[in-house]
Amino acid sequence: MFCRKYQTYCDRLVQDTPFLTSNGRLSEQQVDKIILQLNRFYPQILTNKEAEKFRNPKTSLRVRLSDLLTHLQRKGERDCQEFYRALYINAQPLYGSLPSRKAMSPMFFLACFSVAAGLAFLIYYCSPDPRVLRGARRVIGFSPIIIGKHLSHYLLAYLEKGFKEP
C-alpha cells in the first residue's frame, strides 16, 4: 500500500517532463552538457545531426528540451535511462528533486505519525504494572531505528529514565 509501483525510465520521463521543462530548472549550459554526453559518450544515444538539432540556439531552450525528451521517450527505455544518467552527472541537485524520485507519499507520513501517536497513547494509558511497561519500552527501544535520529534522542531519554526506576 505504501510502496510505489515499479516505473520504467520512460514512465518516469513522462512524469518528470513538465518539471524539467518549466522555466529556470535547467540552464542552457546544463542542457548542452546533457546533449553532448548523449551524443559523444558510449552508448551513443543521439546522432550528430540530432545533437545539432537539440543544441540549435535559434530555438528556445524550453522547446529544444521538450523535443529532446519526447524524442528520447520514442526511442526507448535505454535512451531514457541514459538521459537520467546524464542528468545526474550534470545537474545532480535537480536530479534529486525530480517528482519521480519522491519515494514516499503524504499517506506514508500520515501512517507513520498514526503509529507513533498510537504508541504514545498506549504508553500513557498503559497499566502501571512494571512488566508491561518494560515490554512497551523494548518496543520503543527499536523505534529509533525506524523513526530516525531526530526522535531517537527523546525515545532513548525515556528509556533511560524508565530503566532507572525500580
Residues 148 and 91 reside in one and the same domain: no
pLDDT top residue among 6 and 32: 32
Q: If you average pLDDT over residues 58-80, what whole number do you get? A: 95
Q: If you average pLDDT over residues 16-21, what whole number do you get? A: 94
Q: If you average pLDDT over residues 51-62, what whole number do you get? A: 94
Domain boundary among 56, 80, 103: 103
Which pLDDT score, from 0 to 100, does residue 2 have? 35
Q: What mean pLDDT is reported for the chain?
A: 78
Of the pLDDT bands very low, low, confident and very high (cuts 50, 70, 90), residue 51 is very high
Residues 116 and 90 reside in one and the same domain: no
Residues 68 and 136 reside in one and the same domain: no
Which pLDDT score, from 0 to 100, does residue 74 have? 95
H helices present in 44-124, as ranges: 48-54, 61-75, 77-90, 92-96, 106-124
Residues 88 and 110 reside in one and the same domain: no
Number of domains present in the structure of the chain: 2
Residues 134 and 93 reside in one and the same domain: no
Task: Tell me how far apart the alpha carbons of residues 21 and 27 are, in angstroms, rounded to a whole number.
Answer: 11
What domain range is 32 assigned to? 9-103
Residues 40 and 98 reside in one and the same domain: yes
Which pLDDT score, from 0 to 100, does residue 136 have? 54
pLDDT top residue among 8 and 4: 8
User: What is the enclosing helix (H) or strand (E) of 9?
Assistant: helix 9-21
Residues 47 and 95 reside in one and the same domain: yes
Of the pLDDT bands very low, low, confident and very high (cuts 50, 70, 90), residue 1 is very low
Residues 17 and 98 reside in one and the same domain: yes
Residue 104 cell numbers, joined: 514516499
* Phi, psi torsion values for 138, nearest 5 degrees: -65, -40
Residues 112 and 131 reside in one and the same domain: yes
Closest CA to 101 of 2, 1, 4: 4
Could you give the angle at which helices 130-147 and 106-124 cross, rounded to 10 degrees? 160
Q: How many CB atoms lie within 10 A of CB 114?
A: 10
Which pLDDT score, from 0 to 100, does residue 73 have? 95
Q: Is residue 137 part of a domain?
A: yes
Question: CATH no. for residue 25?
Answer: 1.10.533.10
Q: Is residue 4 part of a domain?
A: no
The set of residues, in sequence order, having a beta carbon less than 8 Å from that of 82 and lying 6+ positions away, is 38, 43, 45
Residues 99 and 113 reside in one and the same domain: no
Which pLDDT score, from 0 to 100, does residue 159 have? 55
% of the chain exceeding 70 in pLDDT: 60
User: Is residue 11 pLDDT above 50, yes or no?
Assistant: yes
Residues 99 and 122 reside in one and the same domain: no
Cβ atoms of 72 and 78 closer than 8 Å: no
